[in-house]
Chains A and B, each alone.
Chain A
Amino acid sequence: MSLHVPMDDKPNQDAVSPPPTPSKPLHRMRLRSSSFTLRPADVIRRQKSDSSFHTHFTGSRIGQENARRPSYESKTMAGPPKSRLSTNTYQDDDSTRLPTAQDMIDMHGNSSHDSGSEDDEPPVPVSKNDNQPSDIKPNGFEGLFMRKATRTQSQSVHLSPMASNAPQRSKSTNLMKAKPTMQVALPLPPKPIPTASSPTSTSLSTKTSSSSLSSSLRSKLGSRKTATSSPSSLMPPTPTIPRRNSSMRLVNKKNAQEAKSRVSTEKEQTELYDDGSQAVYPPPPPKDTCDDERDQYGFKMSSQWLSVEDYHEHDKLYQPIVDRRAQKWHQILAENDGKWPEPSSKFKRYVRKGIPADLRGEAWFHYSGAEAKYHANAGVYQEHVRKAEEGKDENEFCDIIERDLHRTFPENSKFKSTTDNADGSTSMSTEDIPAIMALRRLLFAFSVYCPHIGYCQSLNYIAGMLLLFVEEEKAFWLLVTIIEDILPAGIYDITMEGANIDQTVLMMFIWERLPHIWNKISTSRGFWECEKDVDGASMPTITLVTSHWFLTLFINILPTESVLRVWDCMFYEGQKVLFRVALAIFKLNEQKIMDVDDPLEVFQVVQNMPKRMLDCHRLMETTFRRLGSATDITDADIERRRELFKSRRKERRKTNINTDDIGTRRTKVRGTIIHKAMEARRLVERTKSLKHGPKGAANDSKIAA
């Protein structure tokens, strides 16, 4: 059974569906493929050696973690949760909110879903994997080793994209180890604001700051306080450094008069980043893993939309959070003996707050269900690489893929195929770039593996991004999983019907939930008026932009870190995340959209704004805000609409073929007639001009030119 199970756990989940079980026990976490293998023992050893950092690595701490969180069960049962902390988890009944969709569906004779249980419906693809456990089970230690042996022959095909990162990892481990000394050496680099290092006790700062914070945050702080105050003899001594966020808040309050606007943004941001704990520890390591120009994934930071400074500014706040999340993740893995935890609402929260970069690839691989495919299909990838190589000349897609290889992240250090020479010129090296070669093999193999898709532009970006996180074969299976399981059918097909339908679904959500934005983008036409066209040509023009969002899964739309955060959730929760993020982008840019009148400006705002949305935490928070929020969408909400539009389009096509294509046909005929008439006329004129001699001919060519 795949792990791709809807993660919106309900309190009564057990009654509705059995709790998800992992496809196989992960005896060994395979981090970073061949380059680095972390065994449970390693994790524990590391935990022990770094015990001062892993302050929460105890059973009692887990209890606190749970206690600290508001009791979801009771809260949800009793009524809507008040705290924003619990905005994540549950889906409410949306049938009351969406009468139109429901009406339409009823009209079309589709059985309406019981919205109460809709969230427990497995997404369509799940069943595809149902037959897999039997294959997978033997793959314990022995299975892995056996597999390794069988794989060696094809090793030459493998690329270890992260091989270069392996030293980085050990470096960062060393950094972690070196941190005790850094504890003393405050202030923390880099200083968030000039006075942030002023020593304040935790409790003082917590108290002071909480008074100036929003109620939701206050509730978090409150729970944090109980957590910190409860005695835990088992806990290694918690470093009592001045808490960075809290001291910042304190300072913010102090300097409120002199930097009002700044304070408000910082407060806003600290609020966004707060996830229930005030501790920001360990301090951010010096960023030696990436140069000033590029982020840790090799992407150039500065763009038309964002400067390097913007990134650094953002990093000051974000990096501590990332570090702390990483710590929490390693802790939860250690608690679980180095195995991936079973999906749970708690773990979903972890995922929504971002998977640490070093675990990302493997977490995607595991929770998406790609791992199961990978283990069930040993050698299949290599076979398809071979097939693709052999049938290269007949494969129409190879040429198109070839043209896109160098246009996939041309600015990324791993994919860059141009080198700047000393004399200022640039030269292209094309064949010897490992990432590009891997991308070629992967896309070729995919075009053979999935002949009904072959290759669609934008798959290059997805595959390219995957290659930055997992090794080639895993990237292949992740791509397959995205397309076969996570996304609905037909997105990348020749007709791209699935993509068009999803655009209609998205537009409907906007129409229903963000009507004022709908009015802007549709120039005040009704939704059904826009929808009625056969080929979807009367959909708001904005779908030209939003189709890109879904096709590349936000690559080249959002800044890299935001894309990765979206992917974290997508691999864990499924495709609905894309819709929720799309709505969140609209929601967050609401004001900017409302501020412009010219529809073309609206278009540009929607086209360009996401590129500036560096604040991934804020984006994710908006995405998963619940309680009547515009972004609260369930799989069933999407599926219902998808089915509706599918049938409507089908029906329209049928009637169009039979009868009333007249309008379109008339236009076509008219166009053709006019065109033919023009051609004829032109011919006559040409002949005439030739007759009239060179003067006429010269005249003619002048006009043609």
Chain B
Amino acid sequence: MAARQQQQQGTPAQGKTYQFKLVLLGESAVGKSSLVMRFVKDHFDEYRESTIGAAFLAQTISLDDNTTVKFEIWDTAGQERYKSLAPMYYRNANCAVVVYDITQAASLEKAKAWVNELQRQADPNIVIALAGNKCDLDSRRAVETETAQEYADEAGLLFFETSAKSAHNVTQLFTSIAKKMPLDQLADQSRNKTKGLNPRGVDLSRPANPNNCACKKSLIVL
């Protein structure tokens, strides 16, 4: 509930508020819920109860004086069979954080599978971030940073090694997602938006011109 008191979209006086639907995906027990808890409530439990179905939280961050981004965060269950619910999560998602556990090599493979699925099934504009969580457990590391970084580069993902426990890189992760969102494009849409939110998040209708897509955009800068 913490973040729900935030201002609604686009209060003209204080700049713009953008709202994005963000999904967290990844194998079970990699720390998805813990990341969200750290981000939203700045709190960490050694053992969190495993998530069943999905949990919904919201958090707002300000990028600069004029821009605020509100994330509707959908935290999902990790077990494979809960995947049957997955289309509901990532339907109309604007961004996704795919989490793996740096102490579990298999969890990176699972993360790759999720990235694949998202790139195939979700909105092509979706901004995906890869998060190697539990980086406080460096002594038990099973996935090298370089390996993951290489994959992330290849697949065009944002990449961070995070620790929900120590709060390392957690805010950075979400901030850089917010920064990578194509805010300029959205500005027009937000303005046209009627009050009240789209039930399924901000529905970014797919751009007719694929050049508009977020990843593309960053490349075009080159």
State the A residues within 8 Å of B (CB): 400, 403-404, 406-410, 417-418, 426, 428, 456-458, 460-461, 492-497, 500, 523, 535-537, 539, 541, 543-548, 551-552, 556, 597-601, 603-604, 607-608, 667-668, 670-672, 674-675, 677-679, 681-682, 685, 688-689, 696, 699-701, 703-705
Given contact pairs A418-B47, A539-B88, A705-B159, a sample of 8 additional A-B residue pairs in the complex whose CB atoms are under 8 Å apart: A407-B47, A461-B52, A493-B81, A496-B84, A500-B85, A597-B196, A600-B56, A675-B119
B52 touching A457, Cβ below 8 Å? yes
- What's the Cα separation between A546 and B50 when bound, in Å? 16
- What's the Cα separation between A224 and B218 when bound, in Å? 78
Question: What's the least CB distance linking A38 to chain B, in Å?
Answer: 35
A600 touching B58, Cβ below 8 Å? yes
Contact partner, A701, options B82, B153, B199, Cβ 8 Å: B153
| Contact mask for chain B residues 103-140; partner A; CB cutoff 8 A; 1 contact, 0 none | 00000000000000001111010000000000000000
Question: What's the least CB distance linking B149 to chain A, in Å?
Answer: 8
B4, B53, B77, B213: most-surrounded residue (chain A CB, <10 A): B53
State the B residues within 8 Å of A (CB): 1, 4, 28-29, 45-50, 52-56, 58, 72, 74, 77-82, 84-85, 87-89, 91, 119-122, 124, 149, 152-153, 155-156, 158-159, 196-197, 199-200, 210, 213, 215-216, 218-219, 221-222
B196 touching A672, Cβ below 8 Å? no
B74, B119, B149, B199: most-surrounded residue (chain A CB, <10 A): B199
A545 touching B152, Cβ below 8 Å? no
B219 touching A703, Cβ below 8 Å? yes
- What's the Cα separation between A701 and B58 when bound, in Å? 31
Q: Given A545-B54, A668-B120, answer yes or no on A428-B84 (Cβ-Cβ < 8 Å).
A: no
B156 touching A404, Cβ below 8 Å? no
- What's the Cα separation between A541 and B46 when bound, in Å? 30
Chain B residues within 8 Å of A668, by CB = 120-121
Task: List the B residue with the shortest CB-CB distance to A599.
Answer: B199
- What's the Cα separation between A607 and B75 when bound, in Å? 13
A704 touching B120, Cβ below 8 Å? no
B46 touching A428, Cβ below 8 Å? yes
Chain A residues within 8 Å of B216, by CB = 678, 681
Task: List the B residue with the shortest CB-CB distance to A402.
Answer: B29
B53 touching A551, Cβ below 8 Å? yes
Question: What's the least CB distance linking B162 to chain A, in Å?
Answer: 14
- What's the Cα separation between A528 and B52 when bound, in Å? 26
Question: What's the least CB distance linking B41 to chain A, in Å?
Answer: 9
Q: Given A668-B121, A703-B221, answer yes or no on A537-B50 (Cβ-Cβ < 8 Å).
A: no
- Interchain residue pairs with CB less than 8 A apart (19): A400-B79, A418-B47, A426-B46, A428-B46, A456-B81, A457-B82, A458-B52, A492-B81, A497-B84, A541-B200, A544-B74, A544-B88, A599-B197, A600-B72, A604-B56, A679-B155, A703-B222, A704-B149, A704-B153
B47 touching A700, Cβ below 8 Å? no
- What's the Cα separation between A493 and B83 when bound, in Å? 12
Contact partner, B4, options A408, A418, A543, A601, Cβ 8 Å: A601
Contact partner, A671, options B1, B88, B124, B219, Cβ 8 Å: B124
Q: Given A675-B124, A688-B222, answer yes or no on A456-B210 (Cβ-Cβ < 8 Å).
A: no
Contact partner, A410, options B45, B56, B58, B87, Cβ 8 Å: B45
Chain B residues within 8 Å of A418, by CB = 46-47
Task: List the A residue with the shortest CB-CB distance to B152.
Answer: A704
Contact partner, B215, options A400, A417, A678, Cβ 8 Å: A678
Chain B residues within 8 Å of A407, by CB = 29, 47-50
Chain A residues within 8 Å of B48, by CB = 407, 410
Question: What's the least CB distance linking B44 to chain A, in Å?
Answer: 11
Chain B residues within 8 Å of A403, by CB = 28-29
A674 touching B79, Cβ below 8 Å? no
- What's the Cα separation between A552 and B52 when bound, in Å? 8
Question: What's the least CB distance linking A495 to chain B, in Å?
Answer: 6
Contact partner, B210, options A409, A426, A674, A701, Cβ 8 Å: A674
B119 touching A671, Cβ below 8 Å? yes
- What's the Cα separation between A412 and B79 when bound, in Å? 23
B4 touching A604, Cβ below 8 Å? yes
- What's the Cα separation between A557 and B47 when bound, in Å? 18
Contact partner, B159, options A607, A688, A704, Cβ 8 Å: A704
4 closest residue pairs by CB, A with B: A548-B53, A410-B47, A599-B199, A544-B54
A544 touching B53, Cβ below 8 Å? yes
Chain B residues within 8 Å of A417, by CB = 47
A457 touching B120, Cβ below 8 Å? no
B47 touching A607, Cβ below 8 Å? no
Q: Given A407-B29, A541-B199, answer yes or no on A671-B81 (Cβ-Cβ < 8 Å).
A: no
B221 touching A404, Cβ below 8 Å? no
Chain B residues within 8 Å of A500, by CB = 84-85
B158 touching A608, Cβ below 8 Å? no
B91 touching A537, Cβ below 8 Å? yes
B50, B79, B122, B216: most-surrounded residue (chain A CB, <10 A): B50
Chain A residues within 8 Å of B81, by CB = 456, 492-496
Question: What's the least CB distance linking B35 to chain A, in Å?
Answer: 15
A548 touching B52, Cβ below 8 Å? yes
- What's the Cα separation between A548 and B82 when bound, in Å? 11
- What's the Cα separation between A409 and B48 when bound, in Å? 9
Question: What's the least CB distance linking A396 to chain B, in Å?
Answer: 10
- What's the Cα separation between A677 and B216 when bound, in Å? 10
Question: What's the least CB distance linking B106 to chain A, in Å?
Answer: 9
- What's the Cα separation between A403 and B32 when bound, in Å? 14
Question: What's the least CB distance linking A144 to chain B, in Å?
Answer: 38
Question: What's the least CB distance linking A211 to chain B, in Å?
Answer: 42
Question: What's the least CB distance linking A266 to chain B, in Å?
Answer: 28
Q: Given A418-B46, A457-B28, A457-B82, answer yes or no on A689-B54 (Cβ-Cβ < 8 Å).
A: no
Chain B residues within 8 Å of A544, by CB = 53-54, 56, 74, 85, 88-89
